[in-house]
Amino acid sequence: MEDNNCIELGDKTQEKKKFRILTFLLAFVPLVMALIIQMLTTVPFAFKAVFSVMGSSPNNDLSGDELMEGVREKLLGYNIYIMIIYAVIAFVVFFLWYRSAFIKKGKISFFKSFSVKSVIMVLMMALGTYAFIALILASISCFFPDIMENYNELIETSGLTDNSVLTFIYAIVIGPIVEELVFRGLSYGYLRKSGLSAIPAIIIQALLFGLFHMNLVQGLYATVLGIAIGYVRYKFDSVSLGVLFHMLFNIFGLFSGGLLQNVDEMYQVIIFIVCGFIGVAGICLIICDRAPVKAKADKTEEVS
């Protein structure tokens, strides 16, 4: 007898599962844990900043506002170190968590889903996603210039615009790995284990990813990015390909400004249009790819 109790997403068919509310709620815990680790990592540097600012005023005649401003400036100078330390601690915590919850014993395989075809498709989709998000940012800048100006100031003071080795290590290597473990690994994994189908799981983990960035502009494009990487996670059943996608996206973000700054504006528009078409082609190839999803949402998974 044909089983009518099923749902489909693309070319995948899965049996409906009983919704598990506690497992669903577990999907939100990694975000909270990541924010707590960030806060705890910041605390020692905040004390250091306070003592440094107070020590610079022998008579301790600083007003409250002057003290707060001095501490803020000091913390901005420490920001890249805070992020690196946070990322290292978070990697250990979330990798061990993910390994315990989702990886079969003795079955770690980081590159199982990697092939020339899958890497090319992910590269194309990452390029198109970057072009699409650039369009979103350009639209915000056009219609809401004050919001975009505040966002640019935030990015400039974050330490991520410095061409330092630590910035590259964080933005291109360890940052993407940690964020993929948190959102496409743990959050998405728990959402699927709770009984949700792929579409709501992808959307919810993307919203959590946007919320994690704690500002409107970055949260908006992080949500879009989270949906794109979430689909790659679903389609290939691979956290590792999501890490590659995220790394490529950050590489485009770090280097495109410098590469295009001397290019005529009209040619920049053409370049982004071409990138957009490449991205659409990549999405079509991924959607049409018939490689099966090997792991079920309610079973133990491998890192692939």
Q: Which two tokens stand for residue 113?
A: 């889903």
Domain boundaries, the chain: 8-288
- Which residue in 210, 262, 228 sits closest to 127, CA to CA? 228
Q: How far apart are CA 3 and CA 128, in angstroms?
A: 39
What is the predicted pLDDT for the residue at 11? 45
Please tell me the predicted confidence (pLDDT) of residue 295: 41
User: For position 13, what pLDDT does the model report?
Assistant: 45
pLDDT along the chain (304 residues), means of 10: 42 62 96 96 90 74 75 84 95 95 74 86 94 90 88 74 81 95 97 95 97 92 96 93 95 81 81 89 85 45 53
pTM for this entry? 0.85
Provide the pLDDT for residue 2: 44
Instruction: Give the pair of three-digit tokens for residue 103.
Output: 């990886």
d(C-alpha 61, C-alpha 192), whole Å? 57
Q: What is the pLDDT of residue 83?
A: 93
* Structure confidence at residue 141 (pLDDT): 87
Neighbours of 184 (CB within 10 A): 27
